[in-house]
A and B are shown apart, each in its own frame.
Chain A
Amino acid sequence: MANKHKNIVDSDTPDFNALLGKVGQTKDRESFVTLFEHFAPRLKFFLMKGGITEELADELAQETMLTIWQKAGSYNPAQAAASTWIFTIARNKRIDAFRKNKHFHVDIDDTPGLVDEKADPTEGLDRTREEEDIAGALEALPEEQAYLIKKSFFEEKSHAVIAEEEGIPLGTVKSRIRLALERLRAEGRINDLWD
C-alpha cells in the first residue's frame, strides 16, 4: 500500500494523511512535529494574507496546530485530505478570533452522526490525489477567475462583498465563479463539485 501511494503522490512529500492518522490514533509526537514543520509556516502565510499582523498570524497558527493535536482522533482520510481538514480548523479559528461574538459553526468532527465511519480508508488516496488535481487546475485558471477564488479564501470575502469592493456587477462575479468551478471540475476530475 505504501509503495502504491508513492506512485501517486510526489515521493518526496510525506504522507500527511498518514501522519495525521498517527497523531490521532497514537498521539505520535514525531508525526506531529513533521506536520507542524510543513503546515504551521503555510498557515501563517494564509492567515497573514487575510491582513492580520505577523505576530497574530504566528499565534493563530500555533493555536491551529494545538487544535489539530487535540482533534486528530476524529480525522477521517476518506472524508478529506489532511490539508483540507487542517484548513477548516484554521478557518474556524480565524472566525472565532475576529467575530466579536461567538459563531455557531457546526463542527462536523464533534457530530458523530455526520461522519461516515464505514467509509473506505483507501479513499484517502483519492482525496489527496483530488486535491493535487484541484491545485493544478487552480493554477491553470484565467487570472480573473483564480483571483476571485483566492480573494474569497484568503481575505474571507463573500462574492457580494467582492463585487461591491471591485465595482464589478454581482452577476459577473457569480459567472466567473461558476466558470472557474466548471473548469476545476473538468480539468481537476472532481466529479461532484458542480452537478
Chain B
Amino acid sequence: MNMADPLKDSYEALMLGYAAGALDAAQDLIVSSHVALSEKGRARAARYEALGGALLSKSCDPVEMSAGALDNVLARLEDGQERASEANGMIFPDKIEIPDNLSQAIAEIIGTPQWENYIPGFKTFELPVPCRESKARFLKAVPGVKSPHHKHGGVEITLVLDGAFEDETGTYNRGDLIVMEDDYIEHTPVACEMRGCVCMIVTTAPLKLTGIASVLNPFIKQ
C-alpha cells in the first residue's frame, strides 16, 4: 500500500471535487485554469469525470420525466444556440499568457489588473471572485526571494503561471497546481533563481471559522 502523501492526497481530493462540481467559485476558477494549462490536470479531471459518468449510468435509477418533457425539448431543437461570449482582450501584466477562462474572469471582475506593492520582494493584485469562502490573488515574486514562514489554516491552492518556485517538496513550473491543507507542515516557497515566479493563489478559511459547519448541522460534536 502506498504511503500517504499529504500533498498528493490533497491534490487528488481537490480534483475529484472539481469533477463533481463541488468547488466554490474561486477554487473552481483556479482548478479549471490548471486544467487548461496542464496535461496532468486534464487527465485527472477526465478520470474523475468518468467516475461521474459511471455513477450516472449505474447508480441513478430512472425517475419519470414530466408528461410533455420530450415534446418540449424536441420543439426547441431548432432554437438558436446562445453564442458563447467572446473572450475579452485583457492583457495580463508582463504579457503572460493565461487561459481564456481566466482572462475572461479577470476582465469581467476587475478589468485590466496592475501590480501593486505587497511585502518586500512581492507584488500583487487581488481578484475579488464573488465567493463567500475563498479569496483569490495573483502574486509576483522577484527572483531568489523567500516568502516568510506562515502556518496555513484552511486551504491554500497555488497555480504557477510563469517562472518557477521551489520548496522542500520540489520545483513547480507553469501549469502546476499545489494544494496545501491544514494537515500540511509549514513550508517556505523560494522563487526560482532563473526567473521570478507569477502565481495565482486561492485561500479558503477553515470551515469552522466561516460557520459552514453550524449552518449545515447544528448537532455535530465539535
A interface, CB within 8 angstroms of B: 29, 32-33, 36-37, 39-46, 48-49, 54-55, 57-58, 61-62, 65-66, 69-70, 79-88, 90-92, 94-95, 99-108, 110-111, 114, 127, 130-132, 134-135, 138-139, 149-150, 152-161, 164-167, 170-171, 173-175, 177-178, 181-182, 184, 190, 192-194
The verdict on A84 contacting B53 (CB below 8 Å), with A41-B63, A104-B102, A174-B10 known, is: yes
The verdict on A106 contacting B101 (CB below 8 Å), with A139-B58, A152-B20, A156-B21 known, is: yes
Query: In the bound complex, how far is the Cα of B207 from the Cα of A159, in angstroms?
Result: 11
Contact B216 A164, beta carbon cutoff 8 Å: yes
Contact B100 A101, beta carbon cutoff 8 Å: no
Query: In the bound complex, how far is the Cα of B19 from the Cα of A94, in angstroms?
Result: 12
* Residue numbers in B under 8 Å from A36 (CB-CB): 70, 73
Residue-by-residue, is B28-67 near A (CB-CB < 8 Å gives 1, otherwise 0)?
1100110110000011001101111111111111111110
Query: In the bound complex, how far is the Cα of B73 from the Cα of A178, in angstroms?
Result: 40
Q: Could you say which interface size class chain B belongs to?
A: 35 or more
Q: CB < 8 Å: which of A91, A152, A153, A192 contacts B47?
A: A192
* Residue numbers in A under 8 Å from B27 (CB-CB): 158
Other 6 A-B pairs with CB < 8 A, given A41-B64, A177-B13: A41-B62, A54-B63, A135-B57, A135-B59, A153-B55, A170-B183
Contact B208 A164, beta carbon cutoff 8 Å: yes
Query: In the bound complex, how far is the Cα of B66 from the Cα of A40, in angstroms?
Result: 10
Tell me, yes or no, whether B96 is within 8 Å of chain A by CB: no
Q: CB < 8 Å: which of B51, B64, B216 contacts A134?
A: B51
Contact B28 A83, beta carbon cutoff 8 Å: no
- Which of these binds chain A: B76-84, B142-150, B190-198? B76-84
* Residue numbers in B under 8 Å from A154 (CB-CB): 55
* A-B CB contact pairs (8 Å), 6 listed: A42-B56, A80-B50, A84-B46, A103-B28, A105-B32, A164-B212
Q: CB < 8 Å: which of B13, B53, B216 contacts A159?
A: B13
Tell me, yes or no, whether B4 is within 8 Å of chain A by CB: yes
Q: CB < 8 Å: which of B6, B69, B183 contacts A40?
A: B69
* Residue numbers in A under 8 Å from B58 (CB-CB): 135, 138-139
Tell me, yes or no, whether B169 is within 8 Å of chain A by CB: no
Query: In the bound complex, how far is the Cα of B175 from the Cα of A114, in angstroms?
Result: 14
The residue of chain B having its C-beta at the shortest distance from the C-beta of A94 within the complex is B21
* Residue numbers in B under 8 Å from A192 (CB-CB): 43, 47
Contact B60 A42, beta carbon cutoff 8 Å: yes
Contact A104 B65, beta carbon cutoff 8 Å: no
* Residue numbers in A under 8 Å from B93 (CB-CB): none
B161 to chain A, nearest CB (A): 15
Contact A134 B25, beta carbon cutoff 8 Å: no
Contact A99 B101, beta carbon cutoff 8 Å: no
Contact B52 A91, beta carbon cutoff 8 Å: yes
Contact A58 B69, beta carbon cutoff 8 Å: yes
Contact B12 A178, beta carbon cutoff 8 Å: yes
The 8 lowest CB-CB distance pairs between A and B, nearest first, are A84-B53, A41-B62, A135-B58, A104-B105, A42-B60, A135-B54, A158-B17, A83-B57
A114 to chain B, nearest CB (A): 7
